[in-house]
């Protein structure tokens, strides 16, 4: 099974806030089961830049190590098509979620990957998307 972690999972992982999560991510990473969406990477880059502007270097260093361990997967034509169908369906049913979450969900669907997130409520609105929550803390 392929897993596409959401931004919130990577943020917790990078901050080492949940030891069980850290262990599970590292096992999945070693097994080659994780994929990173370029959209998630963009969000992580944004967070790292904000930290840099505050004078914090640790988030940038951790993100640099993560980039060495896993390569971001491009948002391609199949992901774009999945996004169009997904957004149209969610709007029709009055169940929209955040714009970036919709893009990440569409990317997971296009890749045939389960999304790993602590934001189960929003992602569970998406038909056909396997959603897992690996976090044990906030």
Tens of pLDDT, residue by residue over 68-92, are 999 999 999 999 999 999 999 999 9
Please give the structure tokens belonging to residue 60. Answer: 């940038």
Domain boundaries, the chain: 3-132
Residue 138: the pLDDT is: 53
pTM over cut 0.85: yes
Does domain 3-132 correspond to CATH entry 3.40.50.1010? Answer: yes
Residue 89: the pLDDT is: 96
Give, in order, the Cα–Cα distances in Å from 5 to each of 52, 57, 67, 86, 111.
23, 23, 14, 19, 12
Q: Provide mean pLDDT across the span 119-125.
A: 94
Q: Provide mean pLDDT across the span 45-64.
A: 91
Of 109, 135, 103, give the one whose Cα is nearest residue 120: 135
pLDDT band at 108 (very low <50, low <70, confident <90, very high): very high
């Amino acid at each position: 099974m392929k897993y596409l972690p959401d931004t919130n999972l990577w943020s917790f992982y990078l901050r080492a806030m949940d030891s069980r999560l850290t262990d599970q991510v590292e096992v999945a990473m070693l097994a080659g089961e994780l994929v990173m969406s370029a959209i998630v990477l963009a969000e992580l880059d944004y967070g790292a830049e904000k930290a840099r502007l505050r004078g914090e270097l640790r988030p940038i260093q951790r993100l640099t190590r993560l980039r060495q361990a896993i390569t971001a997967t491009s948002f391609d034509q199949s992901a774009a098509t999945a996004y169009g169908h997904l957004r149209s369906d969610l709007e029709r049913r009055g169940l929209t979620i955040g714009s970036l979450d919709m893009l990440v969900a569409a990317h997971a669907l296009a890749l045939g990957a389960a999304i790993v997130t602590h934001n189960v409520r929003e992602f569970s609105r998406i038909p056909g998307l396997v959603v897992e929550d690996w976090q044990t803390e906030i």
